[in-house]
Structure 1
Amino acid sequence: MSGRAPSGVIADLYDLGDPDGASMPLWLATRRAAIVLQPPEQLALCLPTTSGLDRPLRRADAQRQLPLFATTPETRAAVAARPPLAKQMQARLPARLESAHVARDLVAQACHTWHLPQLLQRSRLVMSELVANAVVHAGTHPRRQSRLGHRAPSQE
């Protein structure tokens, strides 16, 4: 096994005795808790399509946020193929032109961290212009914070 972090957490619910799907709120809360971890984790459920929990999860359209799979190999393959969850970088920027430099550095760090060198130059330019325009034309803090987030394109 490589030194890479796991790409997600799989909950195998084949032996879960929940004929009425009463545990659905627990799994939705577990999903919410997993994405606020640092670093965030993906959660996928493996459960039979005939289970009492599968039906309410699919009816509630929870599948968009909580992937459901019928077999363990299918779940493992899907989790391994998914990109990591979004990560954020942020900085508080004062209403000064020098903040554009800080914003450019933040974008450079993000592009390096997320392995997106092809976006580096354009992203630095765009962020610099946004911050400079906010300071010069609005005379205000550029929303007091600049945040960058990255989520790789979905495989859907």
Structure 2
Amino acid sequence: MMRQRLRCTPAHEPPLAVLRTDGRLTLRTAAQLRTALLKCLAEQPIGILVDAAGLTIGEDMSLTALMAASRHAAAWPGVPLLICAPSRDMRAALRRLGADRHLTLCTDLDHGRAMAVRRALPAQVRDRFPAAAASVPAARTLVSGACERWQLPVVVEPARLVTTELVTNAVRHAGTPIDLTVTRGRRYLHLAVRDYHQRRSRLTASEGRTERGGRGFLLVEAVSSSWGCTLLPDGKVTWASLHLTARSRI
């Protein structure tokens, strides 16, 4: 009988994250894989390598866990997901789903390591702030400085506005240390605020109208190309992407 359990063992190999998988991937066990991938993503490596040598596929749709994780990684913080040593069946299933266009397939872990390291790294700054009101202007200063160094005058003001909302929300509702990451991609500036409380950030009109000191996530939605909230095993990341050439609509 084929194994029904799935084991996901993370290994931190700075600047990479490796996730070793062993067992059968089904619609039931796909949630385990997605959780493990998000935990790897929280370390913000330059790439996540999934060792699929011991992974078998129960049904094609179980691979949507990889596709969903890949979308999260691409949006925040621009981390590629590399599938190492996929079986012939897995390759065929990925092709049927069209997922091979979004995931990088490698012959083995060494191949994956080489491909990830060769990838041009985006410009990035990051810092940790306490859950205090003074962290909001400090985070804005960090973002402004990064935009100035990268010569991105068009996005300075939208980035400052979005940073204010994301950090203010984390200070008020999470009450934990806050990690801010600013990444310059090829077309977008990515802002990611990591906290350690599992209360999902939500878009609410009332928050923008009634809470003192902020206009809520309505503002984030208005000035961003996309935004979202990714829950992690020990907290969440609220992120937003700003197009490098798009002017603010506010």
Normalised by the size of structure 1, how large is the TM-score?
Answer: 0.49
Q: Which has the higher strand share?
A: 2
Of structures 1 and 2, the one scoring higher in RCO (CA 8 A, sep 6+) is 1
